[in-house]
């Protein structure tokens, strides 16, 4: 029995609609974890590869690619390169102006942080452009903060709709076409805005709310400069310097209190601040902890803290075995808002690799001074 003309037209429309849906699929994701194929271990088909170059816009599973994108296996490479892929076997390398993107379903008006592992492959200047929900940032990756290709960055945004396209791109400032940054792993986490706890005027003073940390492998998460705290991977805090600060967790580092802290890895180029609400002419007490992350970073460390018109220099002699000291600063507020700021006075490097490290900051509190 044959199909009537009307049924045939309906069947064609159904097939066409299915093809359209399949080509424009949006991958749902959880608020905390890898993006679909975020570790790139799901490989393109061999027929969609020419040596290491991926051929076809949709040939990298779960991703859309534009430009020259390579599918890399860790280890020695042609031309004398060696690519370390610490979070698995495979990674993506982006050529000039090349990008990868993925559409995900998120909660509208919620805040999210993208954590991604990236490293430069040449000694020249490289950066990564990250975009989502109409906001874009270029993150320089010229400075290496770990010796195994494991530098990890975080960047936050507000979801302006339920369907969000996340894009990572090589903006093409590197002239050598043989160079280009590696992307090793990409994850996402919903960032909940912090609240005041127990009379502490500092939000997220223990740094317990922060970006996604890779569970099986972590060299810390670098949070780059951010001029304000409205959308941040470290909510409540402003990263106001040329160098990033490093978010560290107690599973992989020594942390003075709780499950996470901040490592000031860039000396005076790595500063962190928060603006708190105060009452003019009222006295307050700022307390905090300074220590080392037990990451082979010994030496005489100094953290300088500022609040109102006062400041204090806190010394800690790191033997790279962990440990901390507690410091305090009394100050009088001169307005209804007071900026508290911390930075490391010196530059420090690790003994094993020579990469930048620094003192740990944790457990920041401001309360009314009762004495």
CATH of the domain at 348: 2.60.120.200
In this structure, the answer to whether residues 256 and 273 fall within a common structural domain is no
Per-residue pLDDT, averaged over 303-332, amounts to 96
In this structure, the answer to whether residues 176 and 258 fall within a common structural domain is yes
pLDDT of residue 327: 98
Per-residue pLDDT, averaged over 163-171, amounts to 95
In this structure, the answer to whether residues 38 and 128 fall within a common structural domain is yes
In this structure, the answer to whether residues 100 and 169 fall within a common structural domain is yes
In this structure, the answer to whether residues 239 and 277 fall within a common structural domain is no
| Helix, strand or coil, per DSSP, at residue 268 | helix
Question: Is residue 9 domain-resident?
Answer: no
The pTM (predicted TM-score) of the whole model is 0.88
pLDDT of residue 14: 40
Question: Is residue 225 domain-resident?
Answer: yes
Q: For 162, which DSSP code?
A: S
Q: Which of 263, 281, 311 is the last residue of a domain?
A: 263
- Asked whether the predicted pLDDT for residue 251 surpasses 80, the reply is yes
Q: Which of 214, 248, 263 is the last residue of a domain?
A: 263
Q: pLDDT tens across 16-35, in order?
A: 333 333 334 555 455 689 99
Q: Could you tell me if 186 and 114 are in contact, meaning their C-beta atoms sit under 8 angstroms apart?
A: yes
Question: Is residue 47 domain-resident?
Answer: yes
Question: Is residue 172 domain-resident?
Answer: yes
Is the Cα torsion angle 268, 261, 286, 325 positive or negative in sign? negative
Range of the domain at 38: 27-263
d(CA 283, CA 276): 14
d(CA 149, CA 58): 27
Count: domains in the chain: 2
Q: Residue 143: left if φ>0, alpha if ψ -120 to 50, beta else—which one? A: beta
In this structure, the answer to whether residues 232 and 314 fall within a common structural domain is no
């Amino acid at each position: 029995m044959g199909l009537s003309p009307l049924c045939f037209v309906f069947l064609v429309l159904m097939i066409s609609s299915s093809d359209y849906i399949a080509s424009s699929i949006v991958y749902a994701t959880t608020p905390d974890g890898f993006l679909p194929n975020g570790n790139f271990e799901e490989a393109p088909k061999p027929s969609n590869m020419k040596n290491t170059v991926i051929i076809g816009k949709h040939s990298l599973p779960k991703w859309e690619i534009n430009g020259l994108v390579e599918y890399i296996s860790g280890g020695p490479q042609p031309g004398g390169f060696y690519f370390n892929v610490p979070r698995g076997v495979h990674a993506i390398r982006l050529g000039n102006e090349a990008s990868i993107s993925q559409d995900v379903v998120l909660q509208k008006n919620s805040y999210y942080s993208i954590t991604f592992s990236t490293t430069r492959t040449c000694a020249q200047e490289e950066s990564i452009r990250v975009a989502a929900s109409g906001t874009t940032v270029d993150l320089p990756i010229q400075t290496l903060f770990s010796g195994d290709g494991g530098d990890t960055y975080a960047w936050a945004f507000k979801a302006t709709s339920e369907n969000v396209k996340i894009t990572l791109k090589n903006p093409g400032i590197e002239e050598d076409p043989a160079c280009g940054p590696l992307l090793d792993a990409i994850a996402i986490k919903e960032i909940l805005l912090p609240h005041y706890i127990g009379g502490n005027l500092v939000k997220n003073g223990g740094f317990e709310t922060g970006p996604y940390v890779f569970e099986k492998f972590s060299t810390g998460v670098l949070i780059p400069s951010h001029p304000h705290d409205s959308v941040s991977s470290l909510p409540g805090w402003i990263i106001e310097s040329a160098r990033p600060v490093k978010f560290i967790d107690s599973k992989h580092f020594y942390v003075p209190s709780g499950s996470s802290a901040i490592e000031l890895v860039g000396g005076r180029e790595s500063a962190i601040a928060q603006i708190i609400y105060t009452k003019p002419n009222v006295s307050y007490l700022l307390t905090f902890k300074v220590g080392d992350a037990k990451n082979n970073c010994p030496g005489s460390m100094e953290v300088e803290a500022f609040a109102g018109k006062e400041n204090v220099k806190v010394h800690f002699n790191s033997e790279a075995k962990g440990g901390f000291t507690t410091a305090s600063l009394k100050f009088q507020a001169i307005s209804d808002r007071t900026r508290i700021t911390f930075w490391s006075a010196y530059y420090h490097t690790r003994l094993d690799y020579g990469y930048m490290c620094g003192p740990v900051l944790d457990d920041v509190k401001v309360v009314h001074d009762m004495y």
